Amino acid sequence: MTVELTLTLDATSAKPLQVQVFDQVREIILEGKLKAGMALPPSRLLAERLGISRNTVITAYERLAAEGYVKARGTAGLFVEPIPPDSLLLIQRGGEAPTNGPVPDGAGEPLLCFAGSPGGGGDRPELDFWVGRSDPAGFPLRIWRRIVNRLLSRETAYLTDYCDPAGLPELRAAIATHLRRARAVAVTEDQVVVTAGGQDALNLVFNLLRSRTRQLCIENPCYLGASLIFRSAGMTIHPVLVDGNGLRTDLLPRDRGSLLYVTPSHQFPTGATMPLSRRLELLRWAEETDSYIVEDDYDSDFRYDGPPLTALAGLDGGRRVFYAGTFSKSVGAGLRIGYATIPRLFWDEARMLKARMSNGQAWLEQAALAAFIDEGHFDRHLRRLRQLYKSRRDCLVRALRETFDEPVILGSESGLHLVWRLPEGFLPARTIQIRARERGIGVYALSSGAAYDFDPGARDDMLVFGYSSLAETQIESAVRALKSISEDAR
């Protein structure tokens, strides 16, 4: 059964038309006006009715399908998928916090370089696939210099004053706007806290929730930086296995008062993307167990196959998910700017905690980044980087497939790294890492690639490739050398 859709589009809005179509159709589904089994209007027909291009409707439909709201049935069209009633309640309750009391009014007031280069020094191999490092040539130096010079010519008084510990208001507003538009996270600027990178954001959230937490839950394998925070806490830790759909929600403990660390959009390190059904299970678990979730969305700006996905915090509606983000991958790690979004219930406490941690980040970098976002440079910069990194991703995948027999490649849909699961009988990943390093090539086993596995007996059969900072000719040369290493071993 195909139904009529009544949508109201605003061509003057800053929100793109395809996002408006997605948001409104999604809302109609969640309100129950489009029930399971109903067909969406054909893209051509809807485009004609709305007076927009068919590609705009197709893009919105692709995102609805990617997030699990609809599913294609061959040539019959797109049909609404069933979503359990309790899952609908989870998404629809908006900003309520029924188990946490009333929402207050807004308030006034590691030592190891695991994210940069191995060891944090300059002893890098010539062809280095280290994870999470953006291309130095991709930094928007000309535009950045122009913005900085303009700021210094007007605002030098700010160089001798302290900033708001929670972050420059202009930058917090710019981040909130970007998150609403790109990740469907409905936050205001007073819910954003600017930090010194993503790791600092994780520390902020952990310390904010520590007194409310009885046990810690974390993906396994996981990001090394998060494991360091949790392992130093002296609390019970529940490592939760990851499969092809991300963290296994069926293995989460049912005890009350957990804090869970998760990377649902691009699981680190395996690259798995968590589907809508499992995200809803995760939110249901948090409600039922009075638990909180910190969502690390470390490289969500780079999705190459399919439309962008709604963040877990976007589904949550500002109740139990703390969202941690960073500009280290998208602009540059040297800026040391990340952020956390805080449910309104915790805003006063978060602001005070941030003030105890530091007197705020440097004004100049914050002001420059705010202008970079507000003036549209950030969006254009991301489009250029996506094209560049997608080309390098494609080159690496092609080289692996042409060089090795049917390689199992994980997590290539987005981000700045992928994983090659080595076949049975192949050299262990650590051995390949050591032998590759002898030839000037940096490829990394999970234990070395900024990842951590709580199982000491875990199989050593995954190699991590961060491809974003290598040219395509370098990628091809490195893969040929890996082939030589494997042949020498035989």
Dump pLDDT digits (tens) for 335-355. 999 999 999 999 999 999 999
Asked whether residue 277 falls in the same domain as residue 369, the answer is: yes
Confidence of residue 490 (pLDDT cuts 50, 70, 90): low
* 96 found inside a domain: no
Asked whether residue 428 falls in the same domain as residue 462, the answer is: yes
Report pLDDT for 487: 75
- Cα 149 to Cα 7, 333, 376, 450: the distances in Å are 45, 21, 18, 36
Q: Quick one: DSSP state of residue 163?
A: P
Q: Which helix (H) or strand (E) holds 262?
A: strand 258-262
* 152 found inside a domain: no
Asked whether residue 363 falls in the same domain as residue 387, the answer is: no
CATH number of the domain residue 483 falls in: 3.90.1150.10
Q: What's the average model confidence in pLDDT over 251-260?
A: 96
* 113 found inside a domain: no
Q: What's the average model confidence in pLDDT over 357-380?
A: 93
Tell me the backbone φ, ψ of residue 323, rounded to 5 degrees: -100, 125
Tell me the Ramachandran region of residue 193: left when phi exceeds 0, alpha when psi lies from -120 to 50, beta otherwise: beta
Closest CA to 201 of 353, 311, 330: 353
Q: What's the average model confidence in pLDDT over 13-33?
A: 83
Asked whether residue 229 falls in the same domain as residue 317, the answer is: yes
Report pLDDT for 121: 46
* 250 found inside a domain: yes
Say what the pTM is: 0.81
User: Per mean pLDDT, which range of 35-44, 93-102, 134-143, 192-201 is the poorest?
Assistant: 93-102
Q: Quick one: DSSP state of residue 39?
A: B
User: Per mean pLDDT, which range of 245-254, 298-307, 419-428 is the poorest?
Assistant: 298-307
Report pLDDT for 91: 61
The more confident residue out of 98 and 290 is 290
Asked whether residue 421 falls in the same domain as residue 283, the answer is: no
398, pLDDT greater than 80: yes
Whether the bond into 269 is cis, omega within 30 of 0? yes
Using only the alpha carbons of the chain, give its radius of gyration: 23
Written as one string, the DSSP assignment of 408-470 is: EEESTTBSSEEEEEPPTTSPPHHHHHHHHHHTTEE-EETTTTTEE-S-TT----EEEEE-TTS
Q: What's the average model confidence in pLDDT over 357-372?
A: 92
pLDDT per residue as tens digits for the range 201-215 = 999 999 999 999 999
Average per-residue pLDDT in the chain? Answer: 86
Asked whether residue 258 falls in the same domain as residue 341, the answer is: yes
User: Per mean pLDDT, which range of 325-339, 378-392, 454-468, 476-490 is the poorest?
Assistant: 476-490
pLDDT per residue as tens digits for the range 267-285 = 999 999 999 999 999 999 9
Helix, coil or strand: residue 308: coil
Q: What's the average model confidence in pLDDT over 165-175?
A: 95
User: Which structural domain, as residue segments, surrounds residue 77?
Assistant: 17-83
Asked whether residue 370 falls in the same domain as residue 386, the answer is: no
Confidence of residue 488 (pLDDT cuts 50, 70, 90): low
Distance separating alpha carbons of residues 35 and 40, to the nearest angstrom = 11
b/e code 257-280 from CB counts within 10 Å (16+ = b)? ebbbbbbbbbbbbbbbbbbbbbbb
Asked whether residue 387 falls in the same domain as residue 370, the answer is: no
The more confident residue out of 203 and 80 is 203
Report pLDDT for 425: 82
Calculate what percentage of the chain has a pLDDT beyond 70. Answer: 90
CATH number of the domain residue 69 falls in: 1.10.10.10
Tell me which long-range contacts 98-102 makes (C-beta under 8 A, separation of at least 24): 99/287, 99/290, 100/319, 100/345, 101/345
What pairs with residue 338 in β-bridges?
195, 326
Q: What's the average model confidence in pLDDT over 346-375?
A: 92
Tell me the Ramachandran region of residue 426: left when phi exceeds 0, alpha when psi lies from -120 to 50, beta otherwise: beta
* 320 found inside a domain: yes
Which among 375, 399, 428 is the end of a domain? Answer: 375
Report pLDDT for 442: 92
* 473 found inside a domain: yes
Asked whether residue 386 falls in the same domain as residue 286, the answer is: no
* 476 found inside a domain: yes
Asked whether residue 257 falls in the same domain as residue 366, the answer is: yes
* Number of folded domains that form the chain: 3
Amino acid at 464: V
Q: Which residues neighbour 142 within 8 Å (Cβ) at sequence distance 6 or greater?
A: none
* 146 found inside a domain: no
* Maximum average pLDDT range among 125-129, 160-164, 470-474: 470-474
Which among 335, 350, 375 is the end of a domain? Answer: 375
CB count within 10 Å of CB 477 equals 16
Asked whether residue 306 falls in the same domain as residue 391, the answer is: no
* C-alpha distance across the termini of the chain, in Å: 60
Report pLDDT for 387: 93
260, pLDDT greater than 80: yes
CATH number of the domain residue 298 falls in: 3.40.640.10
pLDDT per residue as tens digits for the range 85-104 = 556 555 655 444 444 444 44
Q: Is-contact 335 327, C-beta < 8 A?
A: yes
Amino acid at 134: S
40, pLDDT greater than 90: no
Tell me the backbone φ, ψ of residue 230, rounded to 5 degrees: -70, -40
Compute the C-alpha angle 355/359/360, nearest 5°: 100
Q: What's the average model confidence in pLDDT over 34-56?
A: 86
Which among 343, 375, 407 is the end of a domain? Answer: 375
Asked whether residue 365 falls in the same domain as residue 433, the answer is: no
Tell me the Ramachandran region of residue 289: left when phi exceeds 0, alpha when psi lies from -120 to 50, beta otherwise: alpha
Q: What's the average model confidence in pLDDT over 373-397?
A: 95
